[in-house]
């Protein structure tokens, strides 16, 4: 039996990003403004950082916290565990993590499930903040859909 080909985390990340049209912090800021002013559009910003990271660094206004361990279950309505968080296949899903690594892997998994408009925020929340874009405090514990 041949030895399985080993991949590194860098290989996985490169494969994930090859299929993503990653969005810059400036682009996301413009999109959020356009959706807010038009009152239409299916743009969802999903924050997969831990509660501690959200409390320490704030959140992007309107983002939805979902634990990365249950992300696919919460987004895929066919899972039986979406509980009001399911996405439509044509929704634009922007996944946010701390620095833009875990979010790339998560967005690629969502694309594998058929959510072709899933992508991630290039640079994550650190990139957002380094561009001087606004952050707000997270909602009080218990008011989230994290898990």
* Per-residue pLDDT at 144: 52
Per-chain mean pLDDT for the chain = 92
pLDDT single digits (tens) 99-118:
999 999 999 999 999 999 99
Q: Enter the CATH code of domain 22-130.
A: 3.40.250.10
Residue 98 pLDDT: 97
Secondary structure, 3-state, the chain? CCCCCCCCHHHHHHHHHHCCCCECHHHHHHHHHHHHHHCCCCEEEEECCCHHHHHHHCECCCCEECCCCCHHHHHCHHHCCCCCCCCCCCCEEEEECCCCCHHHHHHHHHHHCCCCCEEEECCHHHHHHHCCCCCECCCCCCCCCCC
- Listed as ranges, residues in the chain with pLDDT below 50 are 145-146
User: Residue 4: its pLDDT value, please?
Assistant: 84
């Amino acid at each position: 039996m041949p030895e399985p080909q080993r991949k590194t985390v860098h290989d996985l990340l490169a494969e994930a990003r090859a299929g993503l049209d990653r969005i810059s912090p400036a682009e996301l800021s413009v999109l959020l403004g356009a959706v807010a002013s038009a009152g239409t559009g299916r743009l969802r910003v999903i924050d997969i950082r831990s509660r501690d990271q959200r409390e320490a660094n704030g959140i992007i206004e309107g983002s939805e916290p979902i634990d990365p361990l249950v992300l696919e279950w919460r987004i895929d309505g066919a899972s039986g565990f979406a509980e009001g968080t399911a996405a439509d296949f044509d929704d634009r899903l922007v996944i946010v993590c701390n620095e833009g690594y875990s979010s790339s892997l998560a967005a690629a998994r969502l694309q594998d499930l058929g959510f072709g408009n899933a992508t991630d925020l290039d640079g994550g929340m650190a990139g957002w903040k380094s561009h001087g874009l606004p952050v707000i405090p997270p909602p009080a514990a218990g008011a989230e859909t994290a898990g």
